[in-house]
């Protein structure tokens, strides 16, 4: 690529789901944007299902639709129309004191959708290169990033130099930009490993999800599209799993062959889906909570995993990142359309003020749930089962929890509420 200079409103470092969605959202609003990623985009678009899928909440789906990404999904994702929450133990029937939500009791739309990681990458790769206001540099690295009061300059390893009003760190948990800015990150190690993947099964899931609280960590089953999309005639349906367990136990589980691993899945699922068979790869990562001391620095904003990390007990990690995208995009677009500076400190303070309380609430809430459900002390077990059953019998509280799971908590406005994208 020849040396050249490019002037943009925002330069986003990291083209994962959060960074790429932010780039598409800003470009769709008419702002000149650049996005940089160390990996080339086509190889990120895998040809076969690899076992990973995302739970996209209703509010996040609205953001993806506004950015023009949702329409590029290669197939219809599976709606999540019911959620069953129960307390239990591996190999034993779940408690009958459980909690059951149906989306049609809340509104006309599903709680969310299950989207294969591969499918979302296909949609992003189809959307980004076609946007006239968006320059994609991948593979490329930000060899040097200089930020000062007047603006920022990003020099790429491939030669181009980008001048920007704002630089966005979307590189994940170990963000070099965050560290370079001296922004502290507090972490809490859960001494657990999260395991994710998928399995084919005999019986239909009915677009329903299961959240099973077990003594060593939660286990979730999430419906995938079908039938007939996966497996054989004997296993025509499929679901994703998100399974957190103590580190030593998880390491043993990950080392099992497929047959034995499938039996362990069924011990946690029970008989509701019949026989099961693992499909795709198994993925794992250590679980920890993380939150930053501040969300911005001079000409710099943090989004997604660069700013926070929560326990996957409610599957809200990626959705939190999409909420960052909506808040930052709305502030940056408003500043740009008003003739202001999208990287000004006042803009970034407003972004932080919008995102910090929500993220802290989610982080502390997930931590409290993990501590409450992550033990097998008899009095606590009885109390939490009674609590689950009580929520199931209080319609207003049940509805409030459901709307929170959909990303429609109090005060949700703008892109997450389905409002159209502002354009200059």
Q: Which range, of 40-54, 139-153, 279-293, 349-363, averages the lowest pLDDT?
A: 40-54
Cβ neighbors of 176 (< 8 A, separation 6 or more) are: none
* Better-predicted residue by pLDDT, 48 or 60: 60
Mean pLDDT of 247-251: 97
CA nearest neighbour of 168 among 15, 314, 13: 13
The reported pLDDT for the residue numbered 383 is 62
The reported pLDDT for the residue numbered 30 is 96
63-99 pLDDT, tens per residue?
A: 999 999 999 999 899 999 999 888 877 877 776 767 7
Q: Which range, of 83-97, 179-193, 284-298, averages the lowest pLDDT?
A: 83-97
Q: How many residues does the chain have?
A: 424
Mean pLDDT of 329-345: 97
396-415 pLDDT, tens per residue?
A: 766 776 677 677 776 677 89
Packed helices 58-66 and 317-337: angle between N→C axes, nearest 10 degrees = 40
- pTM score, whole prediction: 0.90
What the block records as the tokens of 90 is 């591996």
Given CA atoms 62, 406, 126, 24 in this order, what sign does their dihedral have? positive
* Better-predicted residue by pLDDT, 172 or 388: 172
Between CA 250 and CA 246 the distance in angstroms is 6
- With 0-12 / 13-18 / 19 or more C-beta atoms within 10 angstroms meaning exposed / middle / buried, residue 97 is middle
Cβ neighbors of 393 (< 8 A, separation 6 or more) are: none
Nearest-5° Cα angle at 120, 118 to 121: 65
Share above pLDDT 70 across residues of the chain, in percent, rounded to a whole number: 85
Q: Which range, of 194-208, 242-256, 369-383, averages the lowest pLDDT?
A: 369-383
Fold for the domain defined by 5-187+289-417: FAD/NAD(P)-binding domain (3.50.50)
The reported pLDDT for the residue numbered 2 is 44
The reported pLDDT for the residue numbered 234 is 79
* Better-predicted residue by pLDDT, 421 or 98: 421
**Domain extents for the chain?**
5-187+289-417
Mean pLDDT of 196-213: 93
17-49 pLDDT, tens per residue?
A: 999 999 999 999 999 999 999 888 755 555 666
Q: Is pLDDT of 152 > 60? A: yes
* Better-predicted residue by pLDDT, 317 or 240: 240
Q: Is pLDDT of 379 > 50? A: yes
Between CA 248 and CA 251 the distance in angstroms is 5
The reported pLDDT for the residue numbered 1 is 38
* Better-predicted residue by pLDDT, 34 or 280: 34
């Amino acid at each position: 690529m020849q040396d050249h200079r490019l002037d943009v409103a925002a330069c986003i470092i990291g083209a994962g789901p959060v960074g790429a969605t932010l780039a598409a959202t800003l470009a769709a609003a008419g702002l000149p944007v650049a996005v940089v990623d160390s990996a080339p985009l086509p190889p990120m678009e895998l040809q076969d299902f690899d076992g990973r899928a995302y739970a996209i909440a209703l509010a996040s789906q609205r953001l993806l639709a506004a950015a023009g990404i949702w329409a590029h999904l290669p197939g219809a994702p599976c709606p999540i129309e019911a959620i069953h929450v129960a307390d239990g133990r591996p190999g034993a029937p779940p408690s009958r004191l459980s909690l059951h939500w149906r989306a049609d009791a809340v509104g006309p739309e599903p709680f969310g959708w299950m989207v294969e990681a591969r499918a979302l990458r296909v949609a992003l790769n189809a959307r980004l290169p076609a946007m006239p206001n968006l320059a994609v540099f991948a593979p490329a690295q930000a060899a040097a990033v200089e930020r000062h009061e007047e603006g920022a300059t990003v020099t790429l390893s491939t030669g181009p130099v980008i001048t920007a009003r704002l630089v966005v760190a979307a590189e994940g948990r170990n963000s070099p930009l965050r560290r370079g800015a001296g922004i502290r990150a507090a972490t809490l190690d859960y001494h657990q490993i999260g395991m994710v993947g998928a399995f084919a099964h005999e019986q239909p899931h009915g677009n329903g999800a299961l959240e099973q609280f077990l003594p060593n960590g939660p286990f979730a089953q999430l419906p995938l599209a079908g039938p007939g999309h996966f497996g054989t005639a004997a296993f025509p349906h499929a679901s994703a799993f998100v399974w957190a367990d103590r580190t030593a136990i998880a390491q043993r589980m990950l080392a099992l062959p497929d047959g034995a691993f499938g039996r362990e899945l069924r011990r946690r699922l029970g008989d509701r889906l019949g026989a099961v068979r693992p499909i795709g790869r198994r993925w794992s990562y250590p679980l920890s909570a993380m939150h930053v001391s501040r969300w911005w620095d001079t000409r710099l904003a943090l989004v997604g995993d660069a700013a926070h990390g929560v326990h996957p007990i409610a599957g809200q990690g990626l959705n939190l990142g999409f909420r960052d995208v909506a808040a930052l995009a709305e502030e940056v677009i408003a500043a740009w359309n008003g003739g202001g500076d999208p990287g000004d400190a006042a803009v970034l303070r407003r972004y932080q003020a919008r995102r910090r309380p929500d993220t802290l609430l989610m982080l502390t809430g997930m931590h409290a749930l993990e501590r409450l459900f992550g033990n097998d002390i008899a009095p606590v077990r009885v109390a939490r089962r009674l609590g689950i059953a009580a929520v199931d019998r209080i319609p207003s509280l049940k509805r409030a929890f459901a709307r929170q799971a959909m990303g429609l908590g109090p005060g949700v406005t703008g892109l997450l509420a389905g409002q159209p994208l502002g354009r200059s």
